[in-house]
Amino acid sequence: MKKCTRCGKEYPATSEFFTKNKNTKDKLSGWCKNCFRETYRTRYKNNKEELLTVYALYKGEQLIADGTIKEIAKKLGNSEKTIRFFATPSYKKRVSENGRRLVRLGKGV
């Protein structure tokens, strides 16, 4: 039997219950398949939520664009990655008062 390091449940140490992992001693990952499935689902859900979240992009006090990250990126001709970067603390620290600010408005429809 092998204990899952995430949920603590014990399962037979086979690839039927644990995903394969070449880097471990028993060639199986520490997490059971259920845990993998669960984190995958949460990640997917978070992505979906981000797609529905509406932001407003300001330059100084002026509103440049609003909408989801995707819509703002399209309006500005930037990549979604760039738009997301405007919301990071490292960007905020770097810019002056006239810099761009991405403000989270909440969930859209």
Q: Which one, 1 or 109, has the nearer CB to Zn ion?
A: 1
Residue with tokens 């761009």: 100
Binding of Zn ion by 75 (CB under 5 A): no
φ, ψ (nearest 5 deg) of residue 65: -160, 155
Binding of Zn ion by 65 (CB under 5 A): no
Contact window for Zn ion (CB under 5 A) among 11-19, 24-32, 69-77, 97-105: 24-32
- How far is the C-alpha of 40 from the C-alpha of 35, rounded, in Å? 8
- How far is the C-alpha of 108 from the C-alpha of 75, rounded, in Å? 17
Binding of Zn ion by 28 (CB under 5 A): no
Binding of Zn ion by 84 (CB under 5 A): no
Q: How near is the Cβ of 94 to Zn ion at its closest, in Å?
A: 41
CA dist 66 to 3, 69, 71, Å?
A: 48, 8, 8
Binding of Zn ion by 32 (CB under 5 A): yes
Q: Which of 18, 28, 29, 35 binds Zn ion (CB under 5 A)?
A: 35
- How far is the C-alpha of 98 from the C-alpha of 64, rounded, in Å? 12
Count of residues that interact with Zn ion, criterion CB under 5 A: 5
Where along the sequence are the contacts to Zn ion (CB under 5 A)? 4, 6-7, 32, 35
